[in-house]
Amino acid sequence: MRLDESCEPVFARHETFHPRYGWVKKGFDASSDPNIFTKDAAVVRMGVGKNMVKSIRHWSLAFKILQALRVNGQRTPILQPTSIGAALFDDEVGADPYMELPGTSWLLHWWLLAPLSQAPVWWVTFNEFAGIEFTEEELVAFISDRLEGFGKPNASSLKKDVSVLLRMYSSGHATRATFEDKIDSPFRELSLIQPSTSNSGAYRFLVGPKATLPPLIFAAAVIDFTLRAGSEDRIVSMSRALVEPGSPGRAFRLTDSAAHELLEEAAVTSNAVQLRMSNGMPQLSMSEHPRDVMHRLLSDHYGQFGATFDVGSNAVSGVA
């Protein structure tokens, strides 16, 4: 997938805050009043400052937990839960309202990058930046070149986005960061980025197996990727799902062997998918429509913990 097909030109709407524990749930719950984010009462309702309210709104939309809907006669769009938002965060029917179960942070990371992504800096970082060890300045320079002409972002906005991205996934080196900033992000548990051990002030992508990535979540992301790319084939070539921009292989920073092991485990855990080899290349095979299989994989994953993931009649793929 190309950048212009995958992303909206959205920059620095996070008010310099990375997503904190509990924020997505706060945003989901607050949307019971579809206009809450335009009211002063939002500060009291969510128990955070005004700028944090704006940040929660941004992240709830960026993770595709909420969607903005235009209403005739109203200048500001209202916010409503998406089907995947309800499937995860609804108090009565949600599979993991408080993000306590394995895999939920991985799903949110995946949906953050999925089309149409409202995080182009994140999309470019995970899908196009080839560096393994890098400084913040090097990442900013690469993204600035890559996004030239895409929404005309200014240098200040790009620097803010990169700074938030690094604080979101890594403990970082920023001396101005508070202790709370350094520990209060669920996405650090994904082990995607860490401070370099050999170059002070630099960072490093962790490429390879991911201890916290559940096999069924990865398999569901593989199918979601092919659906978003316009394919409904019941056989998925892993060569595409590992190397193409927008693929889970890039989003999760996996090696071929790590991805293969995850799919082998998925095929053992759920009979919704089978793994087979064709000309030496692994393929994911399904007996049902891919969208049904993706839903089933997510339901099977959360079912292991006594929870139900149910998106009703709406597809997970394409929810915005």
Q: Which CATH number fits domain 215-303: 1.10.10, 1.20.1440, 1.10.8, 3.40.1000?
A: 1.10.10
Could you give the CA distance from residue 68 to residue 274 in angstroms, rounded to a whole number?
A: 38
pTM of the model: 0.93
- Checking if the pLDDT of 199 tops 90, the result is no
Report residue 184's pLDDT band, with 50, 70 and 90 as the boundaries.
confident
Report residue 36's pLDDT band, with 50, 70 and 90 as the boundaries.
confident
Task: For residue 155, give the amino acid letter.
Answer: A
State residue 314's pLDDT score.
44
State residue 273's pLDDT score.
95
Architecture of the CATH domain 22-98: Orthogonal Bundle (1.10)
Structure tokens at 34: 């579809």
State residue 173's pLDDT score.
52
What are the pLDDT digits (tens) for 76-128? Answer: 888 999 999 999 999 999 999 999 999 999 999 999 999 999 999 999 999 99
State residue 70's pLDDT score.
87
Q: Report domain extents, the chain.
A: 22-98, 215-303
Q: Which helix (H) or strand (E) holds 203?
A: strand 202-205
Q: Which helix (H) or strand (E) holds 276?
A: strand 273-278
Could you give the CA distance from residue 117 to residue 133 in angstroms, rounded to a whole number?
A: 25
Give mean pLDDT, residues 163-176: 78
Structure tokens at 315: 């597809």
Measured between its terminal Cα atoms, the distance across the chain in Å is 17
- The answer to whether the 22-98 and 215-303 domains have the same CATH topology is yes
Could you give the CA distance from residue 297 to residue 221 in angstroms, rounded to a whole number?
A: 10
Could you give the CA distance from residue 76 to residue 194 in angstroms, rounded to a whole number?
A: 39
What are the pLDDT digits (tens) for 272-294? Answer: 999 988 877 788 999 899 999 99
Which of 119, 12, 22, 18 is closest to 63 using CA atoms? 119
